[in-house]
Amino acid sequence: MAVVANAITQGHWRLPRGRHPILILLRDCLPQEVPDLNSSLPDFFLWRNSPDSPPGIFSTSQTWDSLHPPSPSLPWTETVWFKQRVPKHAFILWVTLRDRLTTRDKLRSWGINVPASCLLCGSNPETRDHLFFQCNFAAVIWNSFFTHRTLSPPTFCYGPSQLLQIGR
């Protein structure tokens, strides 16, 4: 079994030569001064989550947390991911709010040769906001939705973030 003492010879780090990125990173991470080692003691891992934090015993969960910090909470997450949601609807709404729907403007930006015009109305370029909020066909559906629920439709709705604010 390898120990840290095996990487030190006559008070200097004994590292292989080379320009491999891992070797360069290893050289950058090791302290310039070689620590005084007592080779009779067992090695143990210390982990520093940030340059400012004190070193501690290695923890897989802390390592995961430092490599994958939590994303900031978005204002619409509770609207999409609530307890009684229909998974299919929640997923489509989530994709829509992140502007990741495969609309024609996206397909064209990827180099796919499709017409730019909206499939529903044929008059304007098909984008997420047009498809759901500016298209005449969408306006009929939204009006039907609001009328069916005896709600008054908003006079202006420019996009999904505005619609979520209306629903609160």
The boundaries of the domain holding residue 44 are 4-67
Which pTM value belongs to this model? 0.50
Same domain for 99 and 43: no
Per-residue pLDDT tens digits for 23-47: 888 888 888 888 777 767 777 777 7
Domain count, the chain: 2
Residues β-bridged to residue 125: 117
List CB contacts of 48: < 8 A, sequence separation 6 or more.
Answer: 54, 55, 56
Helical (H) or strand (E) element with 56: strand 56-57
Same domain for 49 and 118: no
* Dist. CA 68–CA 141, nearest whole Å: 41
Per-residue pLDDT tens digits for 108-120: 999 999 999 999 9
Same domain for 87 and 57: no
Per-residue pLDDT tens digits for 142-167: 788 878 766 665 555 556 656 555 44
Same domain for 85 and 153: yes
- Exposure string for 27-60, b = 16+ CB within 10 A, e = fewer: eeeeeeebeeeeeeeeeeeeeeeeeeeeeeeeee
Q: Looking at the domain assignment, is residue 72 inside a domain?
A: no
